[in-house]
Amino acid sequence: MDNNPFEHVPHLQERLIPIAESKVRVTPQVLAQWDVRVRAMGGTDGWCISENEREASRCATLEAIKLDQDVWVFAYGSLMWDPAIYFAEVRHAQLTGYRRVFNYQIMSGRGTPEQPGLVLSIMPSTAHVCQGLAFRIAPDQVEQETTLLWRREMLRGGYCPMLLTLHTPQGDVKGLVFAGNPAHSTYVQDLSLDETAAVVACAGGYLGPNRDYLNQLDEQLCALGIQDDYILGLSQRVACL
């Protein structure tokens, strides 16, 4: 029997959005609702990748994991306060050689086609260590929970899912990481911090203002004792706009 999932991060329990209240646990019904919204804004059949494409990506990424094994998921953005998955354990975790960047452009959720928003990805950077959380999915829930997770993170195929080593205080684990894919059409390159702030300050969609996403991230990083100078600088600039 699993222990308390929050044994290693007890104060986190009150800081996660309950699954029943999450808007990003992407069941087929939720995805159908999103599809209606996007089409109402002018979206076409190609606005997201197909379920078959997502499933192929999921199976290819996880094929190295045995059926009776847990799956760890690295959380560096909204997963840190809204995981929307059932998990058996959560730990502090860090990923060496990556950094957070607001460079993934979205036209729904936190933006619109007329005023796209920006959300996080993580990009390779040898000088950085990205600190976040690692959630462990128990073997009997891997199939269901990773399917839901792929619908959320790989809705448009905008990330590169891979298994990488995560360092945790309780030992290293191999974890699922949705890393940035700058070759994808949704990415914007070389925005200055001021240019990024100008987008985040003004954009918004049916999930709320883009700046709320940033504020939630900033607050969760502070609560977890994680310092990210890029996020801090961006938050200070957005607060002034």
State the catalytic residues.
153
Rounded Cα distance, 132 and 70, in Å? 19
Q: Which residues, 6+ apart, have CB-to-CB distance to 53 below 8 Å? A: 157
Alpha-helix runs per DSSP H in the chain: 28-40, 51-62, 142-153, 193-202, 210-223, 229-239
Position of tokens 């190295």? 64
Using the 8-state DSSP alphabet, how is residue 138 labeled? P
Q: Which residues, 6+ apart, have CB-to-CB distance to 196 below 8 Å? A: 102, 103, 118, 234
How many of the other CB atoms lie within 10 Å of CB of 238? Answer: 21
The CA R_g of the chain, rounded to the nearest whole Å, is 17
In the structure encoding, which two tokens stand for residue 103, read together? Answer: 């460079």
Please answer whether residues 179 and 159 qualify as being in contact, where contact means their C-beta atoms are separated by less than 8 angstroms: yes
In Å, how far are 63, 138, 191, 239 from 88, measured between CA atoms? 21, 6, 38, 36
In the structure encoding, which two tokens stand for residue 76, read together? Answer: 């560096």
Name the residue type at position 162.
Answer: M
Name the residue type at position 222.
Answer: C
Tally the residues of the chain.
241
